[in-house]
Structure 1
Amino acid sequence: MRRVLITGGASGIGRAMAEAFADEDCEVWVTDVDERLLADCPATWRTRMADAAEETAIAAVIDEIGMAGGLDVLCANAGVKGPTAPIEKVALDDWRACTAVTLDGAFLVAKYAAPLMKAAGRGVMLFTSSTAGIYGYPNRSPYAAAKWGVIGLMKTVAMELGPHGIRANAILPGAVEGPRMERVLEAEAAAKGMTRDAVYEGYAAGVSLKTFVEAADVADMAVFLASDRARRISGQAIAVDGHTVNPDPQV
């Protein structure tokens, strides 16, 4: 049975990934900072409270997984949306809070997972980035910078760990239906003096398929990339977004 760790896995995309891997008969480990959401996870999942940006907490979880038999698949998924504001109004503390979870968190979990996978001579690391990591994102500079950084981290990890039989890829969701995106829509609407529906329609209009994606679509990509069917796919940033052609919903 493959052992899979998903950070930020108690809700949204992470929750969908956990459910998809559980359906594949994997042993699912989930970390999150929300105790209530963790309590709502299936009893068959191994859940742990852990802040993705706290090195001690992440090291402890990885150590526990190692003692349980090792780690086959890592989904470095934890992230936060960060502030919605033009660059000159972004506070340094808000910048650091966003990049700490979204970028530092990906680094930390990969750092501690690497020795387990190297010892096994195999493994898959999947990093949740965003289409913001290839296009930029007006009024979301901390988030975009962190997601660009995640792609650079992934490509470097793929080069370092490839000789040890370990693959690394990044998944780039576009606009994903759900509570988190609703918070983004409301924040952008307030920042731009637009209605929530106008921002939503702007996002959809900038996608070739004219629709948002579902968290399950992203999870399906994760399961595929973790499978032997993707055994020659590494170092890639793969969008699951319906083909974003204009990332700025204002236009």
Structure 2
Amino acid sequence: MKRVLITAGASGVGRAMGEAFDAAGWQVWVCDRDASALADVPEAWRRSLVDVTDEVAVSGLFSEVSEVWGGVDALCANAGIAGPTAAIEDVSLQDWQACLAVNLEGAFLAAKYAAPLMKAAKAGSIVVTSSTAGQYGYPFRAPYAAAKWAVIGLTKTLAMELGPYGVRANVICPGAVEGPRMEGVLAREAEAKGMSRDAVYEGYASGTAMGRFVEGKDVAGMAVFLASDTARLVSGQVIAVDGFTVNPDPKV
């Protein structure tokens, strides 16, 4: 049975990934910094309370994974935060750094400690969650967009560096995903732009060819595919799961 580790796997897209891998017959291990959310994951899943910005904690997690599982077949580096919604001149350095720490450094640390296990096995798949903000930019969300662009460069580099060892690395770029985190983004963006929440929502939805938001299960299905043997020669790719963004700037 194949083994997947999912960061920020206790809720949202990460939880959907866990459910999809579980349904596909994988062993699932999730880490999260939210203890209450972790307590609610299925009993069959392994779980660890970990802050992905803490290198000691991440190192310890992979040591435990190695000891318990003997390795890992797939890593979903999914941890992320929305960061501030503000004009660039109003973004504090502290908020900038906090956003990059989770979205970029969290992915780096997970890959750093997963790589030796996968290289030793001469096989593995790393799937990093970016965003369409990492393809087009994102007004009033400079730290988030910068981090999501950066993880694409990181992942393409991983694909080059680890490919000779049989390890693949790919990026998923979700569009706007239905759920509590996006609701927070909508509220903050509505305030920043002087618009209603519904108007901002419609701006996002109408900016896609399919005219709708993404659901966690849509992103999860792509993660399972990229981790599977069916995608054995898919590496270094940036795949949007967004209903096809045709207007990346959701303003009216």
TM-score bracket, normalised by the shorter chain, equals over 0.9
Specify the alignment match of 1:30 in structure 2: 30
Specify the alignment match of 2:217 in structure 1: 216
Identity %: 66
Amino acid aligned to 1:54: D
Matched ranges for 1:1-251 at <5 A: 1-68=1-68, 69-251=70-252
Q: Distance in 1 between matches of 2:51 and 2:247?
A: 33
Deviation at 1:141, TM superposition (A): 0.3
Which secondary structure state, in structure 2, belongs to the residue aligned with residue 61 of structure 1? helix
Which secondary structure state, in structure 2, belongs to the residue aligned with residue 234 of structure 1? coil
Deviation at 1:24, TM superposition (A): 1.3
Q: Distance in 2 between matches of 1:135 and 1:7?
A: 25
Amino acid aligned to 2:193: K
Deviation at 1:249, TM superposition (A): 1.4
Q: Extract structure 1 runs of 4+ deviating beyond 3 A.
A: none
TM-score (normalised: structure 2)? 0.99
Amino acid aligned to 1:171: I
TM-score (normalised: structure 1)? 0.99
Deviation at 1:8, TM superposition (A): 0.5
Which secondary structure state, in structure 2, belongs to the residue aligned with residue 125 of structure 1? strand
Provide the aligned C-alpha RMSD in A. 0.6
Deviation at 1:143, TM superposition (A): 0.2
Amino acid aligned to 1:120: A
Amino acid aligned to 2:214: V
Q: Distance in 1 between matches of 2:206 and 2:27?
A: 39
Q: Distance in 1 between matches of 2:10 and 2:56?
A: 20
What is the count of residue pairs matched by the alignment? 251
